[in-house]
Every structure is written in structure tokens, then in C-alpha cells.
């Protein structure tokens, strides 16, 4: 049996992480969580991750800056930015941070699931 | 030489030029301010007098001129500093009347100047251009009056003309002017005063002054105070009743009227309608409130967005859980039917039990039941968070009834801080230290607006410092305390701090060091006014590189003082 795709969920809001886990519970992923960009970096150092989903507004490093750091470090893992104000982030910054997809917050469950599948290169469910 | 010529020459000799000496600190300033004095040249020339106007910027030169030649009138500016007092002294020694030009808000200085012998003080307010010539004329009139007592017959006409000129100014000035006689009745009102009070021409004349101020006590009616103590008052706000009964706000200054021999003849009062200014003030207040609320809206929206997001997602999941648990229920029904039938078929019961077991496995019913509770608990927590944000917002945007009500200062501060905190929680630690406080009589909404301005400024100062200091741990400390008869509220930050040259201007309207769109420069000036209206004070202590601390002080209601004072 092949290994499940690994998704790292990053949000400072515990209840958001737990809601995301609920939604993705039966999607056939292994889910990891981190409460900050710093914690996420630690997870990435230890585990092979196939997709990162991060909140934008977090204490310390914001999502977009976290992604930009990954990009500078040469990491190509697909990444999804969750933000309540998608239009606030200029396209140039999205490109520089290598953002694969933007998801609005609050999200639509079906859209969330479809986006993650697409980013992982999986067929539509 | 003909006789005619001789006569003219004789007359010429009698018309000595009047020397007006002006001592000023700064040239541009001087030109602006002495515009009024320069106007004296024309009319005095018509009276047969020339005015020679000397402007000195150098106090040494001014002193020499004062001591050397006789001056008929000396105009001295407060901005001369020490030079003001030396020139005033010299003017007194030379027996020349001195007019002091005094900063608009400096009552203490004006009183001191009077005491040191100034003939009159003219404040540098909006009226300056009206007031300076009037004051100058008054002095020159007295001068001519005294000088010419001996030659009254010949000069009677000139004094008359000077009077008429005076009259002309008074009739046409933008400010209302009334003269009150020693029996506290109006003995003169200019047309502006008649218009402002809405009376028919002449209607004001002879009316008791008190009639126009039904809402005030005697000692609140400035001209009555001046009548009683002979002291000038300036720039006080009062409420006057028009003939039609409408009450309007006015700003009034008054001074004792003294005749040529130095005896008090009554009081002259100048006032303006402040209705428009008050309206503007209210608009500015509203604009400022809207601007700050705009800044807050994004923070509040973000704060509500997160709990909204997971509550909504959880509800979706819970509904799926319910569907899954419904499947379990269906199988349970099957099992119950099989086990409860008349003739029990063991195989059928076993099959129903196996189906039940399969669906329990399939939907992971054990997990669903556990997580159902967790999801509900988390969602309740989220909705509680939204509820408290809305509650704070409500307290915050409460319509101001315009009346003072007993207000819990700690609550006003706390609800404001909670709202503002939503936009800064990612970069600032907020510490609160609230003392137990008695209620203060005030407008809670205005108080909250003051707190909001201080908090937003503190946050912005921290953000600005964090730009160059990445490791900065932003901190805002709120403290309230009861100190004697006062409630003290402090908002302290560890932001950029305020440089001394900026400090001088932070309370000026429209002064800002922030980018367009970030700062309007109205926060502190409106806050200052609001606190002042409540009879309190707003002070600041700051150090560049360390931070700033703003302190609001409000005094307790007299009734509150005794019972509410805490045991110490
Ligand atoms: N807590 C503070 N720390 C540093 N500077 C401050 C602080 N509060 C006010 N200031 C200074 O005072 C100026 C005027 O403040 P304010 O009247 O609130 O207008 P604005 O915030 O729109 O600029 C600010 O631009 C800033 O330079
Ligand atoms: Mg401000």
C-alpha cells in the first residue's frame, strides 16, 4: 500500500487547525499541524511533506513571508495560502513566495478539498 | 509771505507728528501684526497729525529710541521675552503709554503686564486686527484729550473726528461689541451685536445685561465680573439668549472702560457667535471618529473572521456526522426489528448485528461521538468570542446622548482596549492594571474616543519602531488609579518615543508625522479638547527610543468624593 500524501497545516488558531482536520479526515491524507511558521520549519526539517497550507496573519512570521523563506531556501513543495483578505496581497509577492493557490477564509469545504487535490496533482474526486 | 501762508505754518507747528514705536521680536511677525497700527497713519493725517511709525526688532535699539526721543505710544510684543519688560520699564520712565501684544492664551502674562504698568493688553487672537487699532486709538484719544485740554476750542473738531473714526471701526467690525454702564445695563451695542442677538436697532440699549444670560449665574457673566473687580477677561465661552429665545454659544472678552481721568466708566465687551465653530468642531470629531473606526474595522473583521470560519466549518462537519450516525441508527433499527420479532431467526439477528458492526466501523462511530462533543465545544467558544467582540463594539459605538452620565472608567477603557487590541494582538502585549474607581460623570463615548486615539497612537508608534528593530517586543501598559480627588488613566507604550521638536506640536490640529492615509493629525487635538471639556487634563511624557506615556486626569464629582474614596 502506497504511503498517504502528507499535508502540513499551519495556523496560530488551534480551532482552525482542528476544523481543517475534521474536514480532511476522510480525504486520505496524513495531516500534520503547526501553530507558527517557526514550528512548521521544525516539522519540515524532520518530515517529508507534500503540501503546505498556511494561514496568512500569524504572530511573528506571516504566511506569505514563511513561504518566501521556503522559496529562497530552494524548496519547491506546493503551498496554499489561507487568507481573509486575498486581494490585499500583491501578485508579485505571491509569485516571489511561490504560492500555488490562494484560499479564502472562511472557505467553502468542497472548494478547499478540490484545491488541495489539485495542488497535489491528484485526480478530481 | 502772505498771511494765509503764515497761518498754515502756525497750524503745522501745532500738529506735531505722533510717534508710535513698535518693538517686535521677528520682522515678518512684526509686519503682520503692525498692519493695524499702520492703518492709523491715514486717519491721523486727516486730523492734521502725522504718525511716524518706528519698528525695532533689536531690543537695544528699541531701548535707545525709547530713552532718546519722546514716543506717544509704544507697542510691545510679548515675544520679546526679557526685552518686553525692559522696554515696558523704559516706556514707563518716559511716561509713554504702552500697549502689550499678548499671546492669545496667556492670561497670566497679561495680568503681569498690567501690573507692570502697561496701559492696555491686546491679545493675538482672531480679533487682533480689530482690537489693536481700537486700543491704539483709545490711548491716542486719551493722549490728545489730556494734551489738548488747554486748547480744547481749537482742537475740539479733531477730537470729534477721531471719535467718529473710532465709531466707524466699531460700527463695522466683525465682532459684536457692547458697552455696559456701571448699573449693569447695556449703554451701547454695535450693529453686529444687534444682529447677533436678533434685536431691533436700539432694542438692546438700556436693557439689563443679565436679561441676555438667563442660564448663567452672575459670576459667570464676564462683564459683571469686570464691573465688580475691574479686571479684564478674555476668550471665555458663554451662552447668550437671543431675542427669539434661541440660545447660542459665544466667545467673549471684556475690559474695564476707563475715562480720561482714570475713573471706571463701565465695561466694554467683545464677542463672536461660536455656533459655526462648534458645528465644525463636532464635524471634526465625527470625522476623526470615523477615521479611527476605519482603521479598527479591518482588525475587528479579522477577529470575527477566524471564529466565524471554524464555527461554520464545524457546523458543516457536524451535519455530516449526523448523516453518518443516522446510518448507524438505521442498522440499529434493523437489528431491533430482527431481535424483537415474534419468531426470532438467529441468522437474521446475526446478519443485522454484523451490518451494524460494519457501518459502525465504516463511519468510525466511536470517533464521531467523541468529536461531536469537541466540535460543539470549540464552536461554542468561537461564538462566545464573536459575541464578546460585538458587545464591546456596541459599548463602543453607543450613541452619545450628549449628556453626562455616571461612567465606569475602567469599563470604558477595557471595552475600547479590547476592540483596538484586535488589530494589534499580533505584535503587542497588552497589560492592564485597573484600580477600583468610583463612577465619573462624563460622556462615555467621548472618553472611549480619547482612549482609542491614545491606543491607536501607541500601537502605531510600536509598529514604527518595530520596522527598524525586528526583535522588539511591543508592549502597551494600561493603568488606572484613584489619586486624591482625581482618576488617572495612563496609556504607556514602548514605541518610538517623541522627539522634542515634534512634542511641541503633537496637540496641534492636523499635525502628523504619519503617512497620508495613516494619520490625519486630529487624534490628540480632539482628545485634548474632549478631556478639557470634561474639566480634566491630558499630559505626555516621552523619550525617544524608549516610548511614551499619555496620562488623562479627570476629577471626581464633588458628591462622589467622600463616600467613594477608598481606604488607604
Ligand atoms: N504614543 C506615541 N508615540 C510616538 N509619537 C506619538 C504618539 N502619540 C502621538 N504621537 C505623535 O503625535 C502626532 C499626532 O498624533 P495624532 O494627533 O493622534 O495624529 P495622527 O496619529 O493622525 O498622526 C503623531 O503623528 C505622532 O508623531
Ligand atoms: Mg493618532
Asked if the structure places residue A124 within a domain, the reply is no
* Cβ-Cβ contacts under 8 Å, A22 against chain B: 313-314, 317, 371, 375
Domain boundary among B391, B413, B429: B391
Ligand 1 centroid to Cα of residue B522, in Å, is 9
What's the burial of B36, exposed, middle or buried (CB within 10 Å: 0-12/13-18/19+)?
buried
- Please tell me whether residues B216 and B341 are part of one structural domain: no
* Cβ-Cβ contacts under 8 Å, B382 against chain A: 15
Q: What is the pLDDT of residue B144?
A: 60
- B374 in reach of chain A (CB within 8 A): yes
Q: What is the C-alpha separation between A63 and B267, in angstroms, rounded?
A: 72
**What 3 state SS string does B381-448 have?**
HHHHHHHHHHHHHHHHHCCCCCCCEEECHHHHHHHHHHHHHHHHCCCEEEEEEECCCCCEEECHHHHH
Total count of domains within chain A: 1
Q: Are B538 and B559 in contact (CB under 8 A)?
A: no
* Cβ-Cβ contacts under 8 Å, A107 against chain B: 309, 313
B117 lines ligand 1 (CB under 6 A): no
pLDDT in tens, B43-90: 455 544 567 778 787 778 888 888 887 788 888 888 888 889 998 988
- Please tell me whether residues B257 and B349 are part of one structural domain: no
Residue listed under C-alpha cell 502506497: A2
- Please tell me whether residues B95 and B197 are part of one structural domain: no
- All residues at 6 or more sequence positions from B343 whose CB lies less than 8 Å from its CB, including other chains: none
Ligand 1 centroid to Cα of residue B396, in Å, is 22
Ligand 1 centroid to Cα of residue B427, in Å, is 19
Asked if the structure places residue A28 within a domain, the reply is yes
Query: B371 is in which domain, residue-wise?
Result: 295-391
Nearest-CA distance B302 → chain A (Å): 7
Q: What is the mean pLDDT of residues B279-284?
A: 72
A25-31 long-range contacts, CB within 8 A, separation 24+: A27/A113, A27/A116, A27/A117, A28/A4, A29/A4, A29/A5, A29/A116, A30/A3, A30/A4, A30/A5, A30/A6, A31/A6, A31/A7
Query: A23 is in which domain, residue-wise?
Result: 6-119
Asked if the structure places residue A68 within a domain, the reply is yes
Total count of domains within chain B: 4
- Please tell me whether residues B135 and B74 are part of one structural domain: yes
* pLDDT tops 90 at residue B274: no
* pLDDT tops 80 at residue B186: yes
- Please tell me whether residues B176 and B54 are part of one structural domain: no
Whether residue A106 has a cis bond before it, omega within 30° of 0: yes
Return the number of CB contacts < 8 Å for A and B: 57
Q: What is the pLDDT of residue B562?
A: 38
pLDDT in tens, A19-64: 999 999 999 999 999 999 999 999 999 999 999 999 998 888 999 9
Q: Are B271 and B255 in contact (CB under 8 A)?
A: no
Nearest-CA distance B445 → chain A (Å): 30
Q: Report the CATH number at residue B511.
A: 3.30.565.10
Q: What is the C-alpha separation between A61 and A77, in angstroms, rounded?
A: 19
- Tell me the average pLDDT of chain A: 93
- B381 in reach of chain A (CB within 8 A): yes
Tell me which residue of B46, B175, B24, B31 sits closest to B100, measured CA to CA.
B24
Asked if the structure places residue B182 within a domain, the reply is yes
Q: What is the pLDDT of residue B101?
A: 86
First to last CA, chain B: 96
- Please tell me whether residues B328 and B413 are part of one structural domain: no
Residue B133: which pLDDT band, with cuts at 50, 70 and 90? low
Q: Are A55 and A29 in contact (CB under 8 A)?
A: no
B512 lines ligand 1 (CB under 6 A): yes
Residue B179 backbone dihedrals phi, psi, to 5 degrees: -110, 135
The residues pairing with B498 across neighbouring beta strands, listed in sequence order, are none
Extract the C-alpha cell encoding B143. 493722549
Q: Report the CATH number at residue A103.
A: 3.40.50.2300
Q: What is the pLDDT of residue B9?
A: 35
Nearest-CA distance A74 → chain B (Å): 24
Asked if the structure places residue B566 within a domain, the reply is no
Residue B496 CA: nearest ligand 1 atom is 4
Distances (CA, A) of B519 to B502, B506, B530: 15, 12, 19
* pLDDT tops 80 at residue B215: yes
Asked if the structure places residue B501 within a domain, the reply is yes
- Please tell me whether residues B269 and B306 are part of one structural domain: no
Range of lowest pLDDT (B309-318, B474-483, B525-534): B525-534
Confidence (pTM): 0.49
Q: What is the C-alpha separation between B49 and B147, in angstroms, rounded?
A: 14
- Which of B284, B295, B457 has the most ligand 1 atoms within 8 A of CB, as the residue to mutate? B457
B506 lines ligand 1 (CB under 6 A): yes
- Tell me the average pLDDT of chain B: 80
Amino acid at each position: 500500500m502506497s504511503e498517504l500524501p502528507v499535508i502540513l497545516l499551519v495556523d496560530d488558531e488551534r480551532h482552525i487547525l482542528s476544523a481543517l482536520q475534521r474536514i480532511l479526515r476522510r480525504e486520505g491524507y496524513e495531516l500534520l499541524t503547526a501553530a507558527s511558521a517557526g514550528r512548521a520549519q521544525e516539522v519540515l526539517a524532520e518530515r517529508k511533506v507534500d503540501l503546505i497550507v498556511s494561514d496568512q496573519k500569524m504572530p511573528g512570521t506571516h504566511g506569505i513571508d514563511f513561504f518566501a523563506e521556503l522559496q529562497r531556501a530552494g524548496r519547491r513543495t506546493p503551498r496554499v495560502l489561507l487568507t481573509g483578505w486575498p486581494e490585499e496581497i500583491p501578485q508579485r509577492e505571491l509569485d516571489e513566495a511561490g504560492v500555488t493557490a490562494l484560499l479564502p477564509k472562511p472557505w467553502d469545504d468542497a472548494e478547499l478539498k478540490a484545491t488541495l487535490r489539485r495542488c497535489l496533482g491528484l485526480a478530481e474526486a | 509771505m502772505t498771511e494765509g501762508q503764515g497761518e498754515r505754518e502756525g497750524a503745522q507747528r501745532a500738529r506735531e507728528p505722533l510717534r508710535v514705536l513698535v518693538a517686535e521680536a521677528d520682522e515678518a511677525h512684526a509686519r503682520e501684526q503692525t498692519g493695524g497700527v499702520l492703518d492709523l497713519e491715514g486717519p491721523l493725517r486727516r486730523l492734521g497729525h502725522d504718525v511716524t511709525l518706528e519698528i525695532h526688532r533689536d531690543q537695544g535699539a528699541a531701548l535707545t529710541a525709547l530713552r532718546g526721543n519722546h514716543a506717544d505710544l509704544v507697542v510691545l510684543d510679548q515675544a520679546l521675552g526679557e526685552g518686553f519688560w525692559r522696554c515696558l520699564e523704559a516706556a514707563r520712565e518716559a511716561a509713554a503709554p504702552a500697549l502689550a501684544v499678548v499671546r492669545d492664551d496667556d492670561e497670566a502674562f497679561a495680568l503681569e503686564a498690567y501690573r507692570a504698568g502697561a496701559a492696555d493688553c491686546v491679545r493675538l487672537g482672531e480679533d487682533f486686527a480689530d482690537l489693536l487699532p481700537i486700543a491704539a486709538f483709545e490711548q491716542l484719544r486719551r493722549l490728545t484729550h489730556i494734551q489738548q485740554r488747554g486748547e480744547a476750542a481749537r482742537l475740539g473738531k479733531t477730537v470729534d473726528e477721531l471719535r467718529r473714526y473710532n465709531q466707524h471701526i466699531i460700527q463695522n467690525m466683525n465682532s459684536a461689541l457692547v458697552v455696559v454702564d456701571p448699573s449693569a445695563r447695556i449703554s451701547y451695542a454695535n450693529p453686529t451685536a444687534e444682529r447677533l442677538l436678533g434685536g431691533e436697532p436700539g432694542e438692546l440699549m438700556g436693557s439689563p445685561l443679565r436679561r441676555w444670560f438667563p442660564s448663567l449665574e452672575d459670576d459667570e457673566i464676564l462683564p459683571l465680573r469686570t464691573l465688580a473687580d475691574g479686571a479684564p477677561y478674555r476668550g471665555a465661552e458663554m451662552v447668550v439668549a437671543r431675542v427669539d429665545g434661541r440660545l447660542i454659544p459665544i466667545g467673549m472678552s471684556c475690559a474695564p472702560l476707563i475715562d480720561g481721568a482714570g475713573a471706571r466708566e463701565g465695561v466694554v465687551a467683545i464677542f463672536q457667535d461660536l455656533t459655526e465653530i462648534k458645528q465644525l468642531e463636532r464635524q471634526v470629531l465625527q470625522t476623526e471618529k470615523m477615521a479611527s473606526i476605519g482603521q479598527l474595522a479591518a482588525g475587528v473583521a479579522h477577529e470575527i473572521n477566524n471564529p466565524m470560519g471554524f464555527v461554520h466549518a464545524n457546523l458543516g462537519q457536524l451535519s455530516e456526522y449526523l448523516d453518518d450516525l443516522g446510518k448507524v441508527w438505521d442498522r440499529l433499527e434493523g437489528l431491533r426489528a430482527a431481535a424483537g420479532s415474534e419468531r426470532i431467526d438467529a441468522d437474521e439477528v446475526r446478519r443485522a448485528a454484523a451490518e451494524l458492526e460494519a457501518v459502525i466501523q465504516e463511519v468510525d462511530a466511536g470517533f464521531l461521538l467523541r468529536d461531536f462533543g469537541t466540535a460543539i465545544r470549540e464552536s461554542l467558544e468561537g461564538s462566545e468570542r464573536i459575541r464578546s467582540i460585538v458587545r464591546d463594539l456596541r459599548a463602543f459605538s453607543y450613541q452619545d446622548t450628549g449628556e453626562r452620565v455616571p461612567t465606569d472608567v475602567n469599563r470604558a477603557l477595557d471595552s475600547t482596549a479590547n476592540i483596538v487590541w484586535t488589530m494589534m494582538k499580533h505584535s503587542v502585549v497588552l497589560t492592564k492594571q485597573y484600580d477600583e474607581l468610583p463612577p465619573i460623570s462624563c460622556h462615555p463615548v467621548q472618553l472611549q474616543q480619547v482612549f482609542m486615539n491614545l491606543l491607536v497612537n501607541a500601537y502605531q508608534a510600536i509598529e514604527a519602531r518595530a520596522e527598524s528593530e525586528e526583535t522588539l517586543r511591543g508592549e502597551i501598559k494600561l493603568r488606572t488609579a484613584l489619586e486624591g480627588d482625581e482618576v488617572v488613566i495612563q496609556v504607556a507604550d514602548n514605541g518610538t518615543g517623541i522627539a522634542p521638536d515634534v512634542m511641541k506640536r503633537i496637540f496641534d490640529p492636523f499635525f502628523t508625522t504619519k503617512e497620508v492615509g495613516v494619520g490625519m493629525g486630529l487624534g490628540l487635538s480632539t482628545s485634548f479638547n474632549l478631556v478639557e471639556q470634561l474639566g480634566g487634563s491630558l499630559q505626555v511624557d516621552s523619550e525617544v527610543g524608549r516610548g511614551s506615556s499619555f496620562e488623562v486626569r479627570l476629577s471626581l464629582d464633588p458628591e462622589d468624593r467622600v463616600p467613594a474614596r477608598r481606604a488607604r
